[in-house]
Structure 1
Amino acid sequence: MNRILLLIPALAAGLLTACSTMGQGPVAGRALYAENCASCHGASGRGDGPAAAGLRRPPADLTRIAARRDGVWPMLEVMSIVDGYSRPDPDRDDMPVFGNFLDGDIVRYDTGNGVMTPTPVKLIAMVNYLETLQDPAPTGYVP
């Protein structure tokens, strides 16, 4: 009985984390993308948004992120680019830093490196949505 009582707080914390991220699932990620990214990257993420023509360089094709990494979705890398902490191309100064992804609820989240890190729920939702835009692996691809 004592063991069960010790598990209750851990289970409650896990449920709270799960519930807080549920409201920020694909629908929330899609809305954040539409509001912040689609004007340049396009509705499908291919870099063909209405504002793309006015940029010095075409926006990245977001549907090919995993394909450029042998089919692996680089969650942590993409999160760092979206939130502005890391930009692999310093000449890409026309991509804004989206501080609004850092606002709101924070949850402990494992981005794939085994470390539970306090992470904004909006950022998780956005990057999870970007993963859904990925083109399937080319025919003949073997992971």
Structure 2
Amino acid sequence: MPGDQETSRPAPPAVLDPAAGRWVFLGMLLLGLAGFASYKMLRAPAAPPPPEVAADPLLLEGRTVYEARCLTCHGPTGRGDGPIAGNLIGPPVGNLSNGKWKHGDRPEDVLKVIAKGVPGTRMSGWDQVLDPGPLRAVAAYAYYLAGQPVPAQLRDDGPLH
């Protein structure tokens, strides 16, 4: 009929079968678990600490923190050649091994860089993540990587001047 015009109706929304959704979720979960298990099995085990680090509880704790938090940027020996260092935007990652630190080499300077980070770089502050003890330990390990003696102030729990 000329007066009857067909009105267009929106298509009904697509409905996902709940059973299919569960299978998709289960498949994604299994893929994630397989990836995690593969990563754990294939990654290289950490080398044992050098004897001088193994014999010093502060350096041993610092090495543990360093390997968990710092190694990806600063590299295993502190040269700034970690696996992601080349892909970071901004100034190059600091070389800790040469002992010529741009932000100072006094214990309070090193702790400040680790705790508060460095503006304008990818060096984030760790004081919101690490307690004072681990901060001091990783600072001590930075001295070790630089081939410098660990300052006594880092071995004390007192305030740094």
TM-score greater than 0.5 by the shorter chain? yes
Match of 1:30 in 2: 63
Displacement of 1:64 after TM fit? 2.3
CA radius of gyration, larger in = 2
**How far apart, CA to CA, are the structure 2 residues paired with 1:24 and 1:122?**
11
Structure 1 position 122 matched with structure 2 position 134: yes
**How far apart, CA to CA, are the structure 2 residues paired with 1:126 and 1:24?**
12
Structure 1 position 54 matched with structure 2 position 87: yes
Provide the alpha-carbon RMSD of the alignment: 2.5
Displacement of 1:124 after TM fit? 1.1
- Per the normalisation by structure 2, the TM-score is 0.50
Larger relative strand fraction: 1
RCO (CA 8 Å, sep 6+): is it higher in 1 or 2?
1
Q: What are structure 1's unaligned runs of at least 5 residues?
A: 1-22, 103-119, 137-143
**How far apart, CA to CA, are the structure 2 residues paired with 1:55 and 1:133?**
22
Match of 2:114 in 1: 82
CA gap 1:36/1:100 in 2 versus in 1, 3 angstroms? same
CA gap 1:68/1:27 in 2 versus in 1, 3 angstroms? closer
CA gap 1:33/1:126 in 2 versus in 1, 3 angstroms? same
Corresponding residue pairs, total: 91
Find the partner of 1:40 among 32, 55, 73: 73
**How far apart, CA to CA, are the structure 1 residues paired with 2:142 and 2:115?**
13
Match of 2:129 in 1: 100
Q: Deviations over 1:46-89 (max 9, x none)?
A: 00000111112320001123x458xx9411100001001x63xx
- Per the normalisation by structure 1, the TM-score is 0.56
Q: State, as a whole percentage, how many aligned pairs show the same letter.
A: 28
Deviates more, 1:23-32 or 1:48-57: 23-32
**How far apart, CA to CA, are the structure 2 residues paired with 1:135 and 1:44?**
11
